[in-house]
Amino acid sequence: MTILPASRKDRATLVLWLLECALTVAAGLLAIRLRFLHDPAGEAAFMQTGVLRLLLVAAFLTMAMAAFGLYQVHVRRTPMELLLRLALSFAFAGVVLSVLFYLVPQTYVGRGVLVLTLAGAGIGVTTLRFLAERALRTEAFRRRILVLGAGRNASLINDRMRRSSDRRSFTLVGFVPLPGQPALVPEALRIDTDFELPELAQWLHVHEIVIAPDERRGGLPMEGMLKCAQRGVLVTDLSTFFEREAGQITVSVADPSWLVFSGGFDHSMPRRLSKRLFDLIAASALLLLAWPAMLLVALCVWLESGSPVLYRQTRVGENGRCFELAKFRSMRNDAEQDGVARWASRDDDRSTRVGRFIRKTRLDELPQLFNVLRGEMSFVGPRPERPQFVDMLSREIRYYSVRHCMKPGLTGWAQLRYPYGASVRDAEEKLKFDLYYVKNHGLLFDLMILLQTVEVVVFRQGAR
């Protein structure tokens, strides 16, 4: 008998969708009862077609949730991201339904009923989603992963994803060594068998096979991989696996062809316009809120160490173009009197007392809002580096120049996922997250980064 390994996940998704539709209809029925609490005759008349109209509301709501990726069971989400996607889904569904009611009056359920329905469904669906997220991470629902390869590339999965939090969406079944390639994975994790790959995947109830050879030429069982794909087993490249599970692009295993053909890098006109609009709104709003703090910081810097209050520094921006970045000065005036560029270090003795505080609280970054408004920077993107460092890092780190295909940002994915970098190795680690952002950036991703940046600033994480 042929086993379709993904069927358990598919059934779970179908059940989740049916439950959310039922919750929406139940919330609508409760809303109707509340709306016509003192008008039984009106409720009876409304209910003649009310259930059908509520089913239409449920259909549009779940379609909005699907559009915001809430039925993609293979994607890991933080609680904050889940809440944001739910909020945007309900807001989008509300707007679309309002337009539909105007165009097709027969579908109208009433403003009060719609608001109460969305509110009730929001509470029910959010509760259900958090319960489902916990259930889907139990052993019964985790994807069973088989790694084809046991050498250097395959061992990266075991080395970099050791923690249970890194594996909350999958169970690692084992590693299958490839003939003629060295096996570096611990022997206890290897699967040495004479079974062909399709039979092995069926026997182990594998949901996904991650292809991780050290050498591709002539070393992969292509026919077996094709049979697995035909049977419903997902066959995934190692680079794609790291991109999905770790939110990074592993520079050492990502080859140029994968970067070219794996999608992403959206620079379409709608995306550029939406990003620029987001930048203008976010920078203007923050500037309106922060200008009293900016005046106070400027005064403190001047009182402690005199002028200049602002520190201007040349940084590399989009497509390698240089611009003048502005920050509140946090170091002594003679911090680089010899003209040699240096990375900031922990407890840097060049910092002033005010400087140490404003760097910890990120207040020194606020003048960069004017760089954003001028279009030299974006609100979210890779952090801009100095030309001296860019020249050195471009020579030493593969794909480093790719991060300059878009505007640098005031905050970014790498700043959230990796602490402040002060070495070539740190720059290489941060590049994994910068490349992930450059490849996968979008309006929703920008919103997520913005919300998480607030958390980082409040708890003073990562600054030096």
Chain CA centroid to CA 152, Å: 27
Tell me what the mean pLDDT of segment 240-267 comes to.
Answer: 90
pLDDT at 345: 60
Tell me what the mean pLDDT of segment 38-47 comes to.
Answer: 81
Band (6; pLDDT cuts 50, 70, 90): very low
User: Mind spelling out the 3-state secondary structure of 79-99?
Assistant: HHHHHHHHHHHHHHHHHHHHH
Residues 6+ apart with CB under 8 A from 384: 315, 316, 317, 323, 325, 377, 408
pLDDT at 235: 96
Helices (H) and strands (E) in the chain, counts: 16, 8
Torsion 145-151-153-159 (CA) sign:
positive
Nearest to 412 by CA among 295, 260, 274, 248: 248
Written as six digits, the tokens of 459 are: 């708890």
Across the strands, what pairs with 145?
Answer: 172, 208
Q: What share of the chain is helix, strand, coil (3-state, %, to 5)?
A: 60, 10, 30
Tell me what the mean pLDDT of segment 414-423 comes to.
Answer: 79
Tell me what the mean pLDDT of segment 97-122 comes to.
Answer: 91
Where residue 263 falls (left for φ over 0; alpha for ψ -120 to 50; beta otherwise) is left
Band (174; pLDDT cuts 50, 70, 90): very high
Band (8; pLDDT cuts 50, 70, 90): low
Collapsing DSSP to helix, strand or coil, 168 comes out as: coil
Q: Write the pLDDT tens digit of every residue in 190-246.
A: 998 889 999 999 999 999 999 999 988 777 899 999 999 999 999 999 999 999 888
Collapsing DSSP to helix, strand or coil, 4 comes out as: coil
> With b meaning 16 or more CB within 10 Å and e meaning fewer, what string describes 63-100?
ebbeebebbebeebbeeebeebbbebbbebbbeebeee
Nearest to 372 by CA among 361, 385, 360, 384: 384
Mean pLDDT highest for which of 12-21, 41-50, 449-458?
12-21
Nearest to 400 by CA among 442, 356, 355, 431: 431
Domains of the chain: 7-136 (no CATH), 143-246 (3.40.50.720), 269-333+343-459 (no CATH)
User: C-alpha distances in angstroms, 78 versus 81, 137, 153, 202, 449?
Assistant: 5, 13, 27, 32, 12
Q: Radius of gyration over alpha carbons of the chain, in Å?
A: 27
pLDDT reading at 66 higher than 60: yes
Where residue 84 falls (left for φ over 0; alpha for ψ -120 to 50; beta otherwise) is alpha
Measured CA to CA, the distance from residue 290 to residue 297 in angstroms comes to 11
User: C-alpha distances in angstroms, 64 versus 57, 71, 88, 96, 278?
Assistant: 11, 10, 9, 9, 21
pLDDT reading at 5 higher than 80: no
Tell me what the mean pLDDT of segment 300-307 comes to.
Answer: 90
If one compares 230 and 306, the residue with the highest pLDDT of the two is: 230
pLDDT reading at 425 higher than 90: no
pLDDT reading at 14 higher than 90: no
Written as six digits, the tokens of 409 are: 């940002």
**Omega prior to 308 cis, within 30 of 0:** yes
Band (140; pLDDT cuts 50, 70, 90): low
| Alpha-helix residue ranges (DSSP H) falling in 323-423 | 353-360, 368-373, 387-396, 413-417
pLDDT reading at 10 higher than 80: no
Q: Average pLDDT of the chain? A: 87
pLDDT reading at 342 higher than 80: no
Across the strands, what pairs with 324?
Answer: 314
pLDDT at 344: 65
